[in-house]
Amino acid sequence: MNRQERYEYGMKVLEQVDGEAGQRVVDSLADVSPELGHQVVAWAFGDMYARPELPPRDRQLITLGVLTALGGCEIELEVHINAALNVGLAPSEISEALLHSAVYCGMPRAINATLVAKKVFGGRGLLPITNAG
CA separation (Å) from 127 to 15, 51, 121?
25, 33, 6
Confirm or reject binding of residue 65 to its own copies (CB under 8 A): yes
Give the residue with the Cβ less far from its own copies, 12 or 108.
108
| Residues 29-58, interacting with its own copies (CB under 8 A) | 29-36, 38-40, 43-44, 47-49, 51, 53-54, 58
Confirm or reject binding of residue 61 to its own copies (CB under 8 A): yes
Confirm or reject binding of residue 96 to its own copies (CB under 8 A): yes
Confirm or reject binding of residue 16 to its own copies (CB under 8 A): no
CA separation (Å) from 18 to 15, 60, 82, 104?
6, 11, 7, 26
Rg, Å, the chain Cα set: 15
CA separation (Å) from 31 to 34, 35, 37, 43?
6, 10, 10, 19
Q: Which residues of the shown chain bind its own copies in the complex (CB under 8 A)?
A: 25, 28-36, 38-40, 43-44, 47-49, 51, 53-54, 58-59, 61-73, 75-76, 91-93, 95-112, 114-115, 117-118, 121, 127-129, 131-133
